[in-house]
Amino acid sequence: MPDQNKKTQPFDAAQGREPVERLKNKDLDPPEFSPPPAALLRYRKSLIILAHIVAFAASLMLSFLLAHNMQLKRSWLVDQYPLLLVFFLIIKLVVFGLFRQYRGWWRYVGISDLTAILRASLVSTLIIVALWYALPISTSAIRQRLQNLTEVGQGVFMTDLFATFLLLAGLRMVIRLYYEEFRTVEGGRLKRFLIVGAGNTGEALLREIHRMPIAQYEVIGFIDDDPAKRGINIHGIPILGPVEQLPKICKDRNIEEVAIAMPSATHHQLRHVIQVCAGTKVRFRTVPSITNVSQIRDVDINDLLGREAVQLDLYSIEAFAKDKIILVTGAGGSIGSEMCRQVCNFKPKLLLLIEQAENPLFYVEQELGKQFPDVPIKSIICNITDKIRVEEIFEKYKPQVVIHAAAHKHVPLMELNPGEAVKNNVVGTQIAADAADKYGTTNFVMISTDKAVNPTSIMGSSKRIAELHIQHLSRTSKTHFVTVRFGNVLGSDGSVVPIFKKQIAEGGPVTVTHPDMKRYFMTIPEASQLVLQAATMGKGGEIFVLDMGEPVKIVDLAKELITLSGLGEDIEIKYTHPRPGEKLFEELSIKGEDMQPTRHPKISIWKNVPMGRDTLHKDIDELLSIANTESYSKIVEKIKELVPEYIGGNNKAAETTEDKSNA
């Protein structure tokens, strides 16, 4: 077994996709820096050196004036100052050059730049003093001119040190002040802005806002729960109160946007901030990290419902996927396409994309080809229920790993089209699994659902039958067949989040089936990563269950999405009723199964006693023959023979449709 502690680390599922997302949200990013004219850039270094020469001359002049009570006298102005200036310039120009003072962008000056100026000033002064008293002055004319300088020499040297630092630091600060304060305003007005989190990230965000070439925001204040910070200012901006007072502060001060500058905050803490602000009409932004404060973006539902980075055993996954021929069915779907992205990170020998819908297949092929140009990819149009076509693909390419994600998943639609659910979810799985067994596939991973647990729907029961076939086949096959179950994934096609977003964009209402309905949620990348991890553990026949965390009320999810939209109470929530086949609460176990832990804390194994192989095959064949008739009642009756725990089959709409067709 590989050493998990050696190469187990968080894996960023979105790696390589950020540029695509940012193109979709270009309006969210601050305007990019506009470079100075080409002529200034060409002579930039020369101009900076000239500015230093002027500053050195001015600091020495100021030193002489202070030494002579601010009186200009010919004795030092003509005789002493020019000679000493040449001496100072030669040393200072060299020393400041060695300290790289002619290279920085003055508009971004900070503490490190001021420290460098102080060091360069101090070193140059020490050299000047050392040389002044060490070198003999042999020329009588020069000695005569400088004879009075020894009386005030030390005062001139020390004053020049501080004057040089103050002038150069002040010059840089003036340039920065010009860019930060004298800027054009975008759209003719500034948006009133509030920062939640008065820590390092909040302070860095404030500085970043001040540096924007075009002013967009007027930062009104900070919000922070730390009582010790109450009443203090950060760069002149006050800390106004704790998170609980956020709605009142937003209302009283007409806040338009709120930035959550707490990259270390848990998802629960982020949800709390959003929930506190329910009913307000502010736009929420977030800062990914203190090193990426410029990438401020809208708060997404994934930020609220996602979880900590998944810890993966990269050694085992790399051994599972690298240099292998991998086939993914349903490659154009939400889960299938994400599985392809995850697999590409481990450099397979060949990735086969199997999909019956040509447009999704085309788009995922284009995306993968751009992000992973070194990974050979083959796109294949294929209906997974076409046995001849599937076997032809397996015979030609001999895939070593199969990830079976193709399925019909929409619960109400499958209640109205039960025969299609059987053909795609049951027969499609059977055909793909049998082909894997026949042509020597090493690993076969079926992606299942928590709706297969005590199913109440045609969709859930069809996935349970598919699980049974996989388990039985694994008993005699050399292929390692495993199943991975998980719940709802955020943002997948046809799921609740895209539907809610569309309803909000249209002005509402947002439809929720029941105020008590709960679902388990997982992000698509997290689910896909754990599927890969589970696949490396399978010895054959296991049903792996992914840790889905705590269930979330659908109505709470709707409220949070409305709050994130900035529309507050303008969007109505309307309750309908549970649709055919839907449960109020999803389950993660079925009767007769025992949960066993694995070496991964987020993955468990469910064991059950499968039916006899001959009976299962016979019943599946009978179910298929009934499925072709699209008789809802007969399909339900046969499913209950295969899955005794199935408690659905009360879809009046489907029965009415069937009765009309029979008539």
Angle at 514 between CA 511 and CA 517, to 5 degrees: 115
pLDDT at 367: 94
**pTM to 2 decimals?**
0.64
120 and 75 co-located in one domain: yes
Cis peptide before 360 (omega within 30 of 0): no
369 and 493 co-located in one domain: yes
Whether 377 is covered by a domain: the verdict is yes
275 and 235 co-located in one domain: yes
- Fill in the amino acid letter for 559: K
Last residue of a domain, one of 249, 270, 295: 295
Whether 98 is covered by a domain: the verdict is yes
Which range among 223-232, 354-363, 604-613 has the greatest average pLDDT? 354-363
Residue 240 is inside which H or E element, if any?
strand 237-241
- Where residue 256 falls among pLDDT bands split at 50, 70, 90? confident
pLDDT at 385: 94
Q: CA separation (Å) from 85 to 42, 152, 271, 306?
A: 28, 15, 64, 65
Give the contacts of 177 (CB within 8 A, at least 6 positions apart).
Answer: none
Burial (CB < 10 A; 0-12, 13-18, 19+), residue 373, is exposed
pLDDT at 330: 94
Pairing of strands 297-298, 283-286: antiparallel
Q: Are 500 and 558 in contact (CB under 8 A)?
A: yes
Q: Are 480 and 539 in contact (CB under 8 A)?
A: yes
Q: pLDDT for 578-633, tens place per residue? A: 776 666 766 654 344 567 778 887 888 886 656 555 678 888 888 888 888 778 88
565 and 463 co-located in one domain: yes
Whether 425 is covered by a domain: the verdict is yes
Measured CA to CA, the distance from residue 287 to residue 263 in angstroms comes to: 6
Question: Residue holding tokens 């009765």?
Answer: 659
Last residue of a domain, one of 241, 269, 295: 295
**Cα atoms found within 13 Å of the Cα of residue 567, Cβ hemisphere only:** 19
Measured CA to CA, the distance from residue 391 to residue 438 in angstroms comes to: 9
End-to-end CA distance of the chain: 63
Measured CA to CA, the distance from residue 171 to residue 159 in angstroms comes to: 18
Question: Residue holding tokens 């015979």?
Answer: 395
* Residues in a beta bridge with 544: 484, 605
Give the contacts of 63 (CB within 8 A, at least 6 positions apart).
Answer: 155, 156, 157, 159, 160, 163
CATH number of the domain where residue 286 is located: 3.40.50.720
Q: pLDDT for 160-218, tens place per residue? A: 888 888 888 888 877 777 666 665 555 556 788 888 888 888 888 887 787 766 667 78
Measured CA to CA, the distance from residue 159 to residue 179 in angstroms comes to: 30
Task: Show the tokens assigned to 98.
Answer: 């060695």
Task: Show the tokens assigned to 182.
Answer: 């004298």
Task: Show the tokens assigned to 608.
Answer: 């059950």
- For residues 283-310, average pLDDT: 66
Whether 57 is covered by a domain: the verdict is yes
At how many degrees (to 10) do helices 554-565 and 496-505 cross?
A: 40
69 and 152 co-located in one domain: yes
523 and 552 co-located in one domain: yes
pLDDT at 184: 56
Q: CA separation (Å) from 275 to 304, 434, 447, 552?
A: 10, 50, 34, 13
415 and 538 co-located in one domain: yes
Q: Where are the alpha helices (DSSP H) in 574-643?
A: 613-627, 632-642
pLDDT at 282: 82
Measured CA to CA, the distance from residue 178 to residue 160 in angstroms comes to: 27
Whether 305 is covered by a domain: the verdict is no
Measured CA to CA, the distance from residue 408 to residue 229 in angstroms comes to: 54
- The strand ranges marked E within 277-366 are 283-286, 297-298, 311-313, 325-329, 350-355
Angle at 28 between CA 26 and CA 31, to 5 degrees: 75
Measured CA to CA, the distance from residue 342 to residue 3 in angstroms comes to: 22
Give the contacts of 378 (CB within 8 A, at least 6 positions apart).
Answer: 350, 351, 352, 353, 397
343 and 359 co-located in one domain: yes
**Cα atoms found within 13 Å of the Cα of residue 608, Cβ hemisphere only:** 21
Q: Which residue has the higher pLDDT, 352 or 544?
A: 352
Reported residue count of the chain is 663
115 and 234 co-located in one domain: no
Task: Show the tokens assigned to 642.
Answer: 């295969």
3-class state of residue 390 by DSSP: helix
3-class state of residue 399 by DSSP: coil
Q: pLDDT for 303-350, tens place per residue? A: 666 666 567 788 888 888 999 999 999 999 989 999 999 999 999 999
Q: Which residue has the higher pLDDT, 475 or 187?
A: 475
339 and 368 co-located in one domain: yes
In this structure, the number of other CB atoms found within 10 A of the CB of residue 292 comes to 13
Q: pLDDT for 383-437, tens place per residue? A: 999 999 999 999 999 999 999 999 998 888 898 899 999 999 999 999 999 999 9
- Where residue 504 falls among pLDDT bands split at 50, 70, 90? confident
Whether 562 is covered by a domain: the verdict is yes
Question: Residue holding tokens 């820590």?
Answer: 199
Q: pLDDT for 485-500, tens place per residue? A: 887 777 666 677 778 8
Measured CA to CA, the distance from residue 153 to residue 159 in angstroms comes to: 10
The domain in which residue 91 lies consists of 38-181
Whether 13 is covered by a domain: the verdict is no
Q: pLDDT for 124-147, tens place per residue? A: 888 888 887 776 554 444 545 455
Task: Show the tokens assigned to 83.
Answer: 């000679």
Which range among 107-111, 569-573, 659-663 has the greatest average pLDDT? 569-573
**Cα atoms found within 13 Å of the Cα of residue 114, Cβ hemisphere only:** 14
Burial (CB < 10 A; 0-12, 13-18, 19+), residue 46, is exposed
Q: Are 560 and 552 in contact (CB under 8 A)?
A: no
Whether 48 is covered by a domain: the verdict is yes
268 and 357 co-located in one domain: no
The whole-chain average pLDDT of the chain stands at: 78
Burial (CB < 10 A; 0-12, 13-18, 19+), residue 587, is middle
Measured CA to CA, the distance from residue 172 to residue 120 in angstroms comes to: 15
Last residue of a domain, one of 159, 181, 203: 181
Measured CA to CA, the distance from residue 638 to residue 644 in angstroms comes to: 10
> For the chain, how long is the longest CA-to-CA vector?
128
580 and 510 co-located in one domain: yes
| Total number of domains in the chain | 3
